[in-house]
Structure 1
Amino acid sequence: MLRASLLVVAVFCQVSAVSAQEATSGSETGALSEQRILHVKPRYYRWHVDVGEEWLEKNTGYACLEWDIPMSQAALVLVDVWDRHYLKEPEDRAERIIQETIRPLLKTCRTAGLQIIHAPSPSQAQKCAAWVGREKQKELPAGAPIPKTASVSAKPWPPAQFRGKSGPYAKYARPAEPMASDRLRILKGLCLHPDVQPEGADVVVATGQELHEFCRDRGILFLFYLGFNTNMCILQRDYGTMAMHTRGYEIIVVRDCTTGMESFETQDGLWQTRGAILFLEMNRKYSILSKELLAGLPKQD
């Protein structure tokens, strides 16, 4: 009799556990279905060959994933979208991209509720009303610089003179450019592009730490990048693709919303731009076209 009772209790507990699991699963599915989802197919470059193929570079190629991202976990990061460039060709390319691709993309993304984050350099960010670091800055003495993350080493290394190529290390510096002052003249008064200003719920960040803190507080994990220049600031800023990937974020560059600074050897095919995007795709980051991002936004009611 006791054995039969224990068996009944065991069966009841098992059924109850299954029912609870199904209820939990159902509630999670329901919660997911209630979320607004961004559906994208990020592209990357495979350092692998297909089964049966020889291990040759020519047998490697692109592949795409399929991601359903909660809109609350994604943001569009605009890097250094300024009003000018000191080189004519990058300025012309950037202006065309801004007018034909970035502006329509921003309008639709804002309407869909995708978080927009402007990252225009520290000096530019501090001028914006939407700068997320304004409250912290108010707590500092007037004119104090933006606080930087503390160094893990008490003694800077390499030495400051070596980094600045001064003192005994001046002999390793590049020669002064005769047109440097003219470049500064062209860039004097540099500001955010007049057609790509912060609006509505947009925010502005000055540093990678500010971008990280904002994303952490909002639960953002996926960063879609656009802006200029692909092979410079998009890659190397502390709020750029490389640094933020190191922090653990998924990085997707919108490849038709960016251009790089080319050389006389690469300008004909925009090989610096294409190479920078490929570098990201080959190193655990992704790319997407603006039309693909637009198509993946949740439909408006």
Structure 2
Amino acid sequence: MLIQTTASCTCLLLCAGIVLSTVVATESPAKQQPWQLKLRIQSPDGPPQSQQPRGWKRTERAAEWQPARTAVIVCDVWDRHHCLNAVRRMTEFLPRMNQLLTVCRSNGATIIHAPSDCMPAYEQHPARLRARQAPNAPGRPADVEFWCSQIPTEERAVYPIDQSDGGEDDDPAEHAEWAAKLTAEGRNAALPWKAQNEAITIDAERDFISDRGDEIWNILKQQNIEHVMLVGVHTNMCVLGRPFGLRQQVRAGFEVVLVRDLTDCMYNPRRWPFVDHFSGNDLIVSHVERFVCPTITSDQILGGSPHVSKYDQRTNRDLLTVLPGNAASVPGAGWWAPVMMPGSLPSDAGGDPSAAVWLRCTVRLPQQLLASGAATLQLPSADVAGAWLNGTAIPAAAGAATSRPLPSAAVLPDGINLLVLKLQPGKSGTLCSEALRIQCGQQSLSLDGRWQWQRDNGTDLSSIPLPAQFGIGSDILFEPTR
């Protein structure tokens, strides 16, 4: 009986401790001085030009943020990553990131650690339990639990880099050695993360741990949050697209900023626009500032200077625009270029005109749409030699060359799906006379708009080495109106 009583008391104390931790986390500390921030955005410079795209200019807006109304979300700062160079770059700024979190926490800000796919490591951690206990908040935005590849302000933007190879920029020999090391540690070399990086402190008494958009929405509302800062990696993938990322925070109505010196992108200089890694990172930051949300730097809170990577050997940094490398001078010749569908290839199209043409886009197929009936790809002509969804072939229906049922096993409901077409050789003059569509019962999703194209060069381009939500930018997405 004594053992049972002691165990019961211990259980009660533990439960009470969890509740008390939640109460402490929601109490406002002594009133702190507001942070005086400079929120940087980019806007079109001057009137539209008839023959060339508009330029851009940077502007800064003064903002006063109360720490107690501010949350910092730490995105995917994992203990391991499959790209060694990405690990090197992130390791550089982790001490400063941890310093920022410490100062923000001490001033009363809410810290949310979001290492995606790593929740099992924190099943009984007080910060994880605290996140799960946050009550369901009213007004939850639709689809906040899903990846978000585009918000309305991005619809007309051309995405600035090609990340469809995964963005790895490792030396091949070093990469192989790193993969072998990860395997020797008992990890999946392609997905090696198991927890958040130990360089980042998690305060068990005050912080939260979650990788779920609905949970983080509940936390933000429980804490009466108005402002959100995002730090972590990688800007062009998880920081933008995760259920708790920049786009979803914008959709949810929070005032959100990217801390641009405490992030990094996944970009391989051997891909369009064929510039160095850090210039590619600048292009992504510019995309964020133009079409998603403002940015700040850590020195606005910590003082000193913003972080600059020792690997960035450029004379000029933090570029507003970046000229493509020479390899990008001929559209479609070895790289994916934008094209409007239906339509024709640009007059300066490169490659062999008699070669087949590849086309690709992404589609989000909500469960509600798929429930309307079997999904089929409707083509306006039989000039398509092949079609693939997420790398799986889409065969033509018997006796109906222009109707192709989507393989149900290949469809990602509510996710981002990669659709690839290969046109018959010699049929690339006019890509399609009518818009393509995906039909589900009586409902349809038009695929009329921007796609990407590339000449056939003997390489199989029917898939990419990572899920489409990570590998394809925001500019070729088709989805029903949210």
Interval containing the TM-score (normalised by the shorter chain): 0.5 to 0.7
Partner residue in 2 for 1:10: none
Question: 1:281 is matched with which residue: 285, 289, 314?
Answer: 289
Does structure 2 retain, via aligned residues, the 8 Å contact 1:77–1:116? yes
Secondary structure at 1:210 match in 2:
helix
Match of 1:256 in 2: 261
State yes or no: 1:39 paired with 2:43: no
Q: CA-to-partner distance for each residue in 1:20-77, whole Å, 9 max, x for gaps?
A: xxxxxxxxxxxxxx6631210110001243xxx7757565310000111222221111
One-letter identity of the residue aligned with 2:281: T
Is the contact made by 1:262 and 1:271 (CA closer than 8 Å) also made in structure 2? no
Amino acid at match of 1:225: L
Query: Offset at 1:116?
Result: 1.2
Deviation at 1:112, TM superposition (A): 2.2
1:102 counterpart = 2:65: no
Q: Which residue of 2 aligns with 1:228?
A: 233
Equivalent position of 1:89 in the other structure: 85
Corresponding residue for residue 439 of structure 2: none
Residue in structure 1 matching 2:246, options 221, 225, 241:
241
CA distance in 2, matches of 1:293, 1:206: 26
CA distance in 2, matches of 1:190, 1:224: 24
Distance 1:272 1:59 in 2: 18
CA distance in 1, matches of 2:192, 2:43: 43
Higher relative contact order (CA 8 A, sep 6+): 1
Structure 2: gaps (5+ residues): 1-30, 135-139, 144-164, 166-175, 305-482
Structure 2 CA distance for aligned equivalents of residues 214 and 57 of structure 1: 42
Counterpart of 2:58, as a letter, is Y
Deviations 1:111-169 (A, max 9, x none): 22222111111533753430144348xxxxxxxxxxx9998xxxxxxxxxxxxxxxxxx
TM-score when scaled to structure 2? 0.42
Matched, 1:114 2:109: yes
User: Which structure carries more strand by proportion?
Assistant: 2
Question: Is the Cα contact below 8 Å between 1:79 and 1:118 reproduced in 2?
Answer: yes
| Partner SS, residue 226 of structure 1 | strand
Q: Measure how far apart 1:284 and its partner are.
A: 4.4
Q: Distance between the aligned counterparts of 1:118 and 1:79, measured in 2?
A: 7
User: Unaligned stretches of 5+ in structure 1?
Assistant: 1-33, 137-147, 152-173, 297-301
Residues 267 and 191 of structure 1: is their aligned pair in 2 closer, same or farther, counting only changes over 3 Å? Answer: farther
Structure 1 residues 74 and 135, CA, compared in 2 at 3 Å: closer, same or farther? Answer: closer
Alignment check: 8 A CA contact 1:122 1:207 kept: no
Are positions 1:202 and 2:207 aligned together?
yes
Bigger share in helix: 1
Alpha carbons 2:105, 2:111 under 8 Å: kept: yes
Give the residue type in structure 2 aligned to 1:108: V
Identity of aligned residues (%): 24
Equivalent residue runs for 1:1-301 within 5 Å: 36-49=33-46, 55=49, 59-99=55-95, 101-124=96-119, 126-127=122-123, 128-131=125-128, 132-135=130-133, 184-185=188-189, 187-188=191-192, 190-199=194-203, 200-265=205-270, 268-295=276-303
Tell me the alpha carbon deviations over residues 237-286 of structure 1, each in whole angstroms, 9 at most, x when there is no partner.
01100111111111100111001111133572423322222111101401
8 Å CA contact 2:118–2:195 kept in 1: the answer is no
Paired residues of 1:208 and 1:244 also in contact (CA < 8 A): no
Give the superposition deviation at 1:185: 3.4
The code of the aligned residue for 2:262 comes to: C
Considering only aligned residues, what root-mean-square deviation do their CA atoms show, in Å?
Answer: 3.3
Whole-angstrom distance in 2 between the partners of 1:57 and 1:292: 33
Task: Return the alpha-carbon distance in structure 2 between the equivalents of residues 91 and 98 of structure 1.
Answer: 10
Q: Is the 8 A contact 1:44 1:284 kept in 2?
A: no
| 2:98/2:201 contact within 8 Å kept | no
CA offsets per residue over residues 183-224 of structure 1, 9 Å max, x none?
823644621101113114211122111111111122111111
Structure 1 SS opposite 2:260: strand
- Alpha-carbon contact 2:79-2:198 (below 8 Å) kept: yes
The 1:249–1:186 alpha-carbon spacing in structure 2 relative to 1, beyond 3 Å, is same
Whether the aligned pair in 1 keeps the contact of 2:70 and 2:225 (CA below 8 Å) is yes
Give the letter aligned to residue 76 of structure 1. Answer: V
SS, match of residue 216 in structure 2: helix
- Quote how far apart the aligned CAs of 1:288 are: 0.7
After superposing the two structures, state which structure 1 stretch, 191-200 or 54-63, moved more.
54-63
Partner secondary structure for residue 189 of structure 2: helix
CA distance in 2, matches of 1:292, 1:74: 15
Relative to 1, partners in 2 of residues 1:230 and 1:284: Cα closer, same or farther, differing over 3 Å?
Answer: closer
Q: Please give the alpha-carbon distance, in whole angstroms, between the structure 1 residues aligned to 2:218 and 2:225.
A: 10
Contact 2:44/2:54 (8 A) holds in 1: no
SS of structure 1 residue aligned to 2:118: helix
How many residue pairs get matched?
223
Partner of 2:413 in structure 1?
none
Quickly say closer, same or farther: Cα 1:270–1:129, change in 2 above 3 A.
same
Give the secondary structure class of the aligned counterpart of 2:258.
strand
Counterpart contact for 1:121–1:206, Cα < 8 Å: yes
